[in-house]
Structure 1
Amino acid sequence: MRAEKEQMNIVLVGHVDHGKSTVVGRLLADTDSLPKGKLQQVKDYCKNNAKTFEYAFLLDALKAEQSQGVTIDSARCFFKSKKREYIIIDAPGHIEFLKNMISGAARAEAAILVIDAQEGIQENSKRHAYMLSLLGIRQVLVAVNKMDLVDYSQERFDKVKQDFTGFLEGIGIKPRDFIPVSAREGDNVASNSKNLSWFKGDTVLEAIDHFEKEPLPEDKEFRMPIQGVYKFTNLGDDRRIIGGRVETGTLKAGDKVVFLPSYKTSTVQSIEEFNVSGKKSISAGESTGFTLTEQVFATRGDIACKASEPPPYVGRLFKASIFWMGKKPLELDKEYKLKLTTSEAKVRVTEITGVLNSSSLESAKAPEVKRHEVADCVIESKVPLAFDTFKAMKSTGRFVLVDEYEIRGGGIITEPLEDEESATREQISLREQKWDPGSIGFRERSLKYGQFPTLMLITGPSGVDKKSIAKQLERTLFDQGRSPYFLGIGNLLRGLDADIDKERRQEHIRRLGEVSHLLLDAGLIVVATASDLTEPEIRLLRTIINQDFIITANVGDFTNGNGVIDVFLDENDGVEANANKLLGKLSSNNNIFSR
């Protein structure tokens, strides 16, 4: 049986019209990697349409290229050398299409940066190089193309090499090679050239064969972002499969896992794969699933980790480097959607610590980030996120920012920062690690009660009637056959909290959260009231209680909402109408369902 050759992903970048597509076309043609008859077919097409044949037309994306004269999408094509198979990502050079380069380069292990020998280093050449640095791509080959247009001048080649080497080293890239080439004429692409006899180095093909293949990061800590939780009860299958793609590390049956940011823990019962039975372990690069011995709440966006290994960071605040692509500038305190692995969260940039000039590499503070600028920022999320720094784990340390349903920027996390709930999270982590579960699991209770355990937290100014709404909701749920429980904070103040001063408000709030957590573990819908809760206090409760288990409602004025209030109630609407509004929220969230 023939052993499969290893594969490597390489991205081609460079300024528009510097010849990236021609380099790819030459590699395809000169390594006999084209489908049979493809080369002649394209040549005939050009002849019949009075077009000059270009090797760039050999790309699979030739329709877009021929109709518009530029590479529109990140075209992927394949060729083989004696050593390995290559997936070449031909990223667009036009500045308008840099977001395509980000999506392509993010999967690349190495890069070929193409520079026109005649035009020299352009603004986009530097931008693309910085993007490679930002994405952690350190294996870079610089192809100085169109040497035929400068009469194969060694002096011109040396000048381009000298000018670009200093810039690349300044952003942490040490090129593996600078190679003079003429892709149109075939010089130094796949074979040596008499026109460049003064150059004694490798061809492009030889040089990329010297690139080191990145091994799958199986030796790193286990990270598996959850794509979804899959159930097949309609087929008589009671398994609950946690599904996703393993980004790093390995996992086997019997391993203890923790789900972040909730800190819920359980043990792997079995590894599940379609049409495969008896599999004992999974490792980086596999899309798969597993079941648990004790059912805990895990959902899309969580990251599964091994309890025995250092975990990702969990928090709402971090430093990041961002490359902005939106037509409108990135603004301070504006709300954006952040996508990190499978999780999504509303975020805002609280500080722009520096905007980098891609030509001079100078950084300066600015009130906004303009299109195609790189900036160091501080980002605050409305909910806790699990993440690594990009330096430690690329896949769980990069993100995109979305505005108006379009990707406007890409970024990497450089440093976690402490937020107001950091200390509480440490305590919650310890609580969940040591939690002693009963014999009845989360899913069993939910199915029996026909409800998802939820804290319905009603707040508002002192003097505004909240209890009547809470008790009406409790009664309505009970009459429907649900299992609700009214928890007024006054009951805690006069009982559990009787030993602490009224001034210790944060401790009162913490105890409200922990008592609610116990009642939620019993499968109940807890309807609680507390006056004058602030945004930080609600965030504290969302930390103590999994954010998926809490709905916050406000009666009356609330000036510091910032996303922590889910339902706003008007006291003038009356008790029954407001209770029904909360009931509707429970229903629309699928917190109550048919048994």
Structure 2
Amino acid sequence: MAHVSDLIADDIEQYLHLHQHKGLLRFITCGSVDDGKSTLIGRLLYESQMLFEDHLAALQADSRRWGTQGEEIDFALLVDGLAAEREQGITIDVAYRFFSTDRRKFIVADTPGHEQYTRNMVTGASTADAAILMVDARKGILTQTRRHSYLVSLLGIRAIVVAINKMDLVDYSEQVYRRIRDDYEAFARQIGVEAVTFIPVSAFKGDNIVSPSPNMDWYRGPTLMGYLETVEIDEDRMQAAPLRLPVQWVNRPNLDFRGYAGTLAGGVVRPGDRIRVQPSGKESTVARIVTRDGDLEQAVAGQSVTLTLTDEIDISRGDMISAAREPAGTADQFETTLIWMHDEPLLPGRQYLLKLGTRTVTASVTTIKYQVNVNTLEHTAAKKLELNAIGVCNISLDRPVAFDPYTDNRDTGGFILIDRLSNNTVAAGLIHFALRRSQNIHLQPVDINQEAHARLKGQRPCVLWFTGLSGAGKSTIANLVEKKLHAEGRHTYLLDGDNIRHGLNKDLGFTDADRVENIRRVGEVARLMVDAGLIVLTAFISPFRSERQMARELLKDGEFLEIFVDTPLEAAEARDPKGLYRKARRGELKNFTGIDSPYERPESPEIHVDTTRMTPEAAADLIVEHIRNGGYLAP
């Protein structure tokens, strides 16, 4: 006779086999601080463990001998542990928990309710199928409840349940429940959320979590676990969408095989399907669908596969393989919604890295059209976006990308912005549509190019970018350098900060946003002058590294020479030729670099001029000699 423990082991193995084939629901818990998210997650983990034990008991009549004696979960200790763990990791991570019941597997994103960590909530919600919005029955709908609800709506989560928690602390009042439900429904209509399920619960005591609560016999809806087990997962919607495969890498182990690997972000693909590669627009036919376990006759959204094609065409990481009859769009300018997630504000004109699927490009916000007030949903004007702000913006890329509107495909319509210097993720974005001008404006080829201009002038064009504090001597030294080059018959032009602000940039002030735009315009003008074959000198404070890097990246390697005119603040302030420091110290001049606005010193300039040890004349000689030795001045 088989031993009882062997029978139980067989039952467990059978259960786990069935478990592997259950559907998976990803959901997020969100809401304001102390609404009970940790308690709820602890309760779900605790109850799922109890359900697991009950299932094994039904499978095995002698289940009393199956044992976790001395190992049972203590609910209170579990909740305390979750709360402590989350507090320790609150600033860096979203905690993901896995649990399972007879019907379904679950992954829950446990995110903090603090306003300053809204970015964590966005991270968790970006891959969620459902959202549980926690509301403290004693407090009702709060600002963070509205913010998280708006974000859930923006991020395309269709299954939303409002868990009105701590009902035990309001004597299980039906009147409290109905008041909160009515308040939330009014707000939900404003943000376009139509289907919301409301469940009154006590996560701590277990009311309406797994079993209907006898304390709230007036409630006839589902329990929370019942909702999670039966809510529809919209798996078919993306399979019915057009084919989208962002190419993650090109797999070429030998000359006889060339495959394009990635995870299907939409649609179904079969051998023989006609495809289009974007943004190039080239077409081919699928030859094979290759996986580690062998070839497939069909692959669907969510599967990771390698496609081979019947034609040898140029495809790289970041390209998109689309259905030929229903291709993705391609553009380099969009209207988007941005959720700003960094302490440093978003400044229009500043360049960031944009990651859309497997493609990474350079991007900048050209216009903030408006910011959304999450309490009133009012659209307000904004020149920058602060931490947790939500704004509708126009954005421009340095090259076209393949995309879909976010409402059609979350994977091919959602992106992140990354700070180019720190590599931190600073924003999440949702594409609305391509701007028409991105389709109508094209580069016009010309016959007389930069090389032709440079040959005629007998010099190698470049930008000499002078940076330093006000009063450091940038304009003085730049003027001397230009005089020396002019005396040699060189073709130059000096762009000086004050002179530019009398014309091209007369509409700009001295806020951080205006300083970014000031340097963006100067960088573009300098690029055009280099294209004309000139040696361009620019004398601007240009206080931010990111904008100096932006100007550098507009040019080819070797065409941008950063010259740091290094003068200590005390020395520059002592000179104060224009009286600006005195005004700034008296509070008459706001956002003055070195006083109440930062100056970010160059980290590795091509030329370093120390004005405490060198005269302007000597500095000019040093710079001319440097560019001569670098081959910029043809003999």
TM-score (norm 2): 0.65
Structure 2 residue corresponding to 1:230, chosen from 251, 255, 259:
251
Show the 5 A alignment for 1:550-565: 555-557=533-535, 563-565=553-555
How far is 1:98 from its partner? 2.2
In 1, distance between residues paired with 2:632 and 2:252?
35
In 1, distance between residues paired with 2:357 and 2:252?
22
C-alpha spacing 1:266/1:323, structure 2 compared with 1 (3 Å): same
Aligned counterpart, 1:149 = 169
In 2, distance between residues paired with 1:69 and 1:40?
27
User: Contact between 2:52 and 2:101, CA under 8 Å: does it hold in 1?
Assistant: no
Structure 2 residue corresponding to 1:203, chosen from 207, 223, 228:
223
Aligned counterpart, 1:395 = 411
Structure 2 residue corresponding to 1:314, chosen from 321, 330, 346:
330
C-alpha spacing 1:33/1:419, structure 2 compared with 1 (3 Å): farther
Question: Structure 1, residues 185-221: CA drift from partner, whole Å, max 9, x if none?
Answer: 1111111222222222221112233421112422211
In 2, distance between residues paired with 1:69 and 1:33?
29
More moved, 570-579 vs 26-35: 570-579
1:119 has 2:139 as partner: yes
C-alpha spacing 1:240/1:575, structure 2 compared with 1 (3 Å): farther
Question: Structure 1, residues 530-554: CA drift from partner, whole Å, max 9, x if none?
Answer: xxxx989x99xxxxxxxxxxxx988
User: Contact between 1:332 and 1:352, CA under 8 Å: does it hold in 2?
Assistant: yes
Amino acid at match of 2:210: A
SS in 1 for 2:147: helix
Show the 5 A alignment for 1:207-222: 207-216=227-236, 217-222=238-243
In 2, distance between residues paired with 1:228 and 1:24?
38
Amino acid at match of 1:280: E
In 1, distance between residues paired with 2:559 and 2:41?
61
SS in 2 for 1:415: strand
Amino acid at match of 1:330: L
C-alpha spacing 1:293/1:175, structure 2 compared with 1 (3 Å): closer
Amino acid at match of 2:94: S
C-alpha spacing 1:254/1:207, structure 2 compared with 1 (3 Å): closer
Aligned counterpart, 2:437 = 419
How far is 1:351 from its partner? 0.8
In 2, distance between residues paired with 1:390 and 1:350?
20
C-alpha spacing 1:458/1:343, structure 2 compared with 1 (3 Å): farther
In 2, distance between residues paired with 1:569 and 1:383?
21
In 2, distance between residues paired with 1:408 and 1:372?
10
Show the 5 A alignment for 1:399-478: 399-403=415-419, 404-419=422-437, 422=440, 459-460=449-450, 463-465=453-455
Aligned counterpart, 1:566 = 556
SS in 2 for 1:368: coil
In 2, distance between residues paired with 1:344 and 1:329?
22
How far is 1:354 from its partner? 0.9
Aligned counterpart, 1:488 = none
User: Contact between 2:51 and 2:101, CA under 8 Å: does it hold in 1?
Assistant: no
User: Contact between 1:223 and 1:304, CA under 8 Å: does it hold in 2?
Assistant: yes
In 1, distance between residues paired with 2:260 and 2:274?
14
Structure 1 residue corresponding to 2:85, chosen from 58, 64, 87:
64
How far is 1:300 from its partner? 1.0
Aligned counterpart, 2:509 = none
C-alpha spacing 1:146/1:303, structure 2 compared with 1 (3 Å): same
Structure 1 residue corresponding to 2:359, chosen from 318, 343, 346:
343
Aligned counterpart, 2:187 = 167
How far is 1:464 from its partner? 2.4
How far is 1:231 from its partner? 1.9
User: Contact between 1:469 and 1:576, CA under 8 Å: does it hold in 2?
Assistant: no
SS in 1 for 2:396: strand
C-alpha spacing 1:566/1:71, structure 2 compared with 1 (3 Å): closer
**Structure 2 runs not aligned, ≥5 long:** 1-13, 54-66, 461-522, 539-549, 561-623
In 2, distance between residues paired with 1:71 and 1:148?
31
Structure 2 residue corresponding to 1:291, chosen from 290, 303, 308:
308
In 2, distance between residues paired with 1:85 and 1:420?
44
1:74 has 2:97 as partner: no
Aligned counterpart, 2:46 = 29
How far is 1:85 from its partner? 2.3
Structure 2 residue corresponding to 1:261, chosen from 272, 275, 279:
279
SS in 1 for 2:362: strand
How far is 1:417 from its partner? 0.7
C-alpha spacing 1:575/1:228, structure 2 compared with 1 (3 Å): farther
In 2, distance between residues paired with 1:13 and 1:175?
18
**Structure 1 runs not aligned, ≥5 long:** 47-52, 426-454, 471-533, 540-551, 580-595
C-alpha spacing 1:463/1:70, structure 2 compared with 1 (3 Å): closer
How far is 1:230 from its partner? 1.8
How far is 1:41 from its partner? 6.1
C-alpha spacing 1:561/1:186, structure 2 compared with 1 (3 Å): closer
1:91 has 2:114 as partner: no
How far is 1:104 from its partner? 1.6
SS in 2 for 1:566: coil
In 2, distance between residues paired with 1:167 and 1:360?
9
1:328 has 2:344 as partner: yes
More moved, 378-387 vs 207-216: 207-216
Aligned counterpart, 1:507 = none
C-alpha spacing 1:26/1:383, structure 2 compared with 1 (3 Å): same
Structure 1 residue corresponding to 2:386, chosen from 365, 370, 375:
370
Aligned length: 459
Structure 1 residue corresponding to 2:370, chosen from 347, 354, 368:
354
SS in 2 for 1:331: coil
User: Contact between 2:453 and 2:533, CA under 8 Å: does it hold in 1?
Assistant: no
Aligned counterpart, 1:138 = 158
In 1, distance between residues paired with 2:353 and 2:178?
46
Aligned counterpart, 1:432 = none
Amino acid at match of 1:152: Y
How far is 1:93 from its partner? 1.5
Question: Structure 1, residues 260-283: CA drift from partner, whole Å, max 9, x if none?
Answer: 11223333222221241x433322
How far is 1:318 from its partner? 0.5
Question: Structure 1, residues 441-472: CA drift from partner, whole Å, max 9, x if none?
Answer: xxxxxxxxxxxxxx9x99438642179999xx
How far is 1:370 from its partner? 1.4
SS in 2 for 1:272: strand
How far is 1:327 from its partner? 0.6
C-alpha spacing 1:464/1:80, structure 2 compared with 1 (3 Å): closer
Amino acid at match of 1:185: K
How far is 1:243 from its partner? 0.9
How far is 1:578 from its partner? 7.6
In 1, distance between residues paired with 2:260 and 2:132?
39
User: Contact between 2:341 and 2:388, CA under 8 Å: does it hold in 1?
Assistant: yes
Question: Structure 1, residues 231-251: CA drift from partner, whole Å, max 9, x if none?
Answer: 213xxx531221111111122
More moved, 27-36 vs 138-147: 27-36
How far is 1:399 from its partner? 0.6
In 1, distance between residues paired with 2:176 and 2:431?
39
In 2, distance between residues paired with 1:466 and 1:292?
48
In 1, distance between residues paired with 2:400 and 2:134?
41
In 1, distance between residues paired with 2:162 and 2:383?
35
In 2, distance between residues paired with 1:391 and 1:225?
18
Q: How much is the aligned-residue C-alpha RMSD, in angstroms?
A: 3.6
User: Contact between 1:270 and 1:290, CA under 8 Å: does it hold in 2?
Assistant: yes
Amino acid at match of 2:280: S
User: Contact between 1:312 and 1:386, CA under 8 Å: does it hold in 2?
Assistant: yes
How far is 1:325 from its partner? 1.2
User: Contact between 1:317 and 1:380, CA under 8 Å: does it hold in 2?
Assistant: yes
How far is 1:128 from its partner? 0.7
Structure 1 residue corresponding to 2:259, chosen from 217, 238, 241:
241
SS in 2 for 1:10: strand
User: Contact between 1:230 and 1:242, CA under 8 Å: does it hold in 2?
Assistant: yes
How far is 1:161 from its partner? 1.4
